[in-house]
């Protein structure tokens, strides 16, 4: 997707603070962190959101969640962390490329909404 911000970040056209990458996944620090550790994990494949997942592309999401676990260990989030994926306007999704937020490094608020 030529006009997708995260596709441009994955392609290196927009700089990012990379924390992890492999053949399927790219992960980088959120530009406006909402916790001491705030990382975005995205599939290299352009998928709009969790709402667009089906049997044809769900392996990309699985690879992202495997990366989440690896990154949480790498970042020392042994006390726990939260994974969030906003899908659609009601959830406040601002970038329409599937991504998983990793939030941690502090005691997170109890409520999720
Ligand atoms: P969403 O609101 O779609 O769930 O999350 C999008 C996230 O992308 C936001 O937390 C926002 O701070 C982050 N973001 C937006 N633009 C950029 C950027 O250019 N670089 C980085 N690293 N993060 C960005
Ligand atoms: Zn994209």
Q: Which residues of 50-86 are buried (b: 16+ CB within 10 A; e: fewer)?
A: beebeeeeeebbebbeebbeebbeebebeeebeeebb
The CATH number that applies at residue 35 is: 3.30.428.10
- 112 located within any domain: no
Indicate which residues carry an active-site annotation: 99
Number of domains in the chain: 1
What predicted TM-score, i.e. pTM, was given to this entire model? 0.98
Tell me whether residue 111 is in a domain: no
- Give the N- to C-terminal CA distance of the chain in Å, as an integer: 31
In a domain, 109, yes or no: no
- Residue 100: inside a domain, yes or no? yes
Q: Is residue 81 part of a domain?
A: yes
- In this structure, is residue 33 part of a structural domain? yes
Structural domain containing residue 71: 5-104
Tell which atom from ligand 1 comes closest to the C-alpha of 92: 2
Does the beta carbon of 30 lie inside 6 Å of ligand 1?
yes
Ligand 1, pocket-test mutation among 82, 83, 95, most atoms within 8 A of CB:
95
Kindly state the greatest CA–CA separation across the chain.
Answer: 39
Residue 110 located in a structural domain:
no
Amino acid 77: pLDDT: 98
Each residue's pLDDT, cut to its tens digit, for the chain (113 residues) gives: 679 999 999 999 999 999 999 999 999 999 999 999 999 999 999 999 999 999 999 999 999 999 999 999 999 999 999 999 999 999 999 999 999 999 999 999 999 88
**Ligand 2 (ion): which residues have CB within 5 A?**
1, 4, 6-7, 46, 97
Please report the pLDDT score of residue 113 as a whole number. Answer: 87
């Amino acid at each position: 997707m030529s006009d997708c911000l995260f596709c441009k970040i994955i392609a290196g056209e927009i700089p990012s603070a990379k924390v992890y990458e492999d053949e399927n996944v790219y992960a980088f620090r959120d530009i406006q962190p909402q916790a001491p550790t705030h990382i975005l994990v995205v599939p290299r494949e352009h998928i709009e959101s969790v709402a667009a997942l089906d049997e044809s592309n769900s392996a990309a999401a699985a690879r992202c969640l495997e990366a989440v676990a690896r990154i949480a260990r790498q970042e020392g989030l042994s006390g726990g962390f939260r994974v969030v994926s906003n899908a659609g306007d009601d959830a406040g999704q601002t970038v329409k490329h599937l991504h998983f937020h990793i939030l941690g490094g502090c005691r997170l608020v109890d409520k999720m909404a």
